[in-house]
Amino acid sequence: MGESGRKTADSIFTKIIRGEIPCAKVLETDLLIAFLDIAPLAEGHTLVIPKRQVERLEELSPAEAGAIAAVLGPLALRILKATGAGDYNILQNNGAAAGQVVPHVHFHIIPRREGDGLGYRWNAQRSEPAKLAALAERIRADA
């Protein structure tokens, strides 16, 4: 069930978890599963997902979030060792505007090499201190 209480369709990841769709599994616990992406951005591109289907990060239980956080770093190191890559990105998208395609929380571990052409760059611009202070106050007020 989704946050609204209505039944949501099973995601492709839920079908993978149930064994209806095969995957190249690299890790499984009671709360999560990790497997190689079938359309990798780089060799070793791995997805780490909760077994319970929720769409957004804030819908994870503390136990699910903790279990995922506990495996991301160690698993990334295992992936680097297996692929020979030296660096990695961990990406996670929430909502269509953020690039989420599958409505099931998932973290990407993407091995990176110098000059790999993936070209992930920030398009950042410096903000005024007064604007940052005002925004920080709004964020704190909603806690």
- As a whole number of angstroms, the distance between CA 77 and CA 109 comes to 10
**pLDDT-derived band at 7, boundaries 50, 70, 90:** low
**Is residue 1 one of the residues assigned to a domain?**
no
Quote the CA–CA distance of 20 and 17 in Å, as a whole number: 8
Is residue 20 assigned to a domain? yes
In a domain, residue 123? The reply is no
Domain count, the chain: 1
Q: Strands 32-36 and 46-50, how do they pair? A: antiparallel
In a domain, 88, yes or no: yes
- 33-91 residue pLDDT tens: 999 999 999 999 999 999 999 999 999 999 999 999 999 999 999 999 999 999 999 99
Give, in degrees to the nearest 5, the angle at Cα 12 between 79 and 110: 20
Burial of 112 (0-12, 13-18, 19+ CB in 10 A): middle
Instruction: Tell me whether residue 137 is in a domain.
Output: no
User: Does 140 fall in a domain?
Assistant: no
Q: What is the CATH number of the domain that holds 104?
A: 3.30.428.10
Token representation of residue 76: 């990334």
Q: Would residue 142 count as lying in a domain?
A: no
124: confidence class by pLDDT, cuts 50, 70, 90: confident
Catalytic sites, residue numbers:
106
10-43 pLDDT, tens digit per residue, is: 999 999 999 999 999 999 999 999 999 999 999 9
For residue 4, the model assigns a pLDDT of: 47
Q: How many degrees, rounded to 5, is the angle at CA 38 between CA 35 and CA 42?
A: 90
Cβ-based neighbours of 55, under 8 Å, separated by 6 or more: 2, 3, 8, 94, 100, 103, 104, 105
Residue 60 inside a domain? The answer is yes
Whole-model pTM: value is 0.88
- For 49, the domain range is 12-117
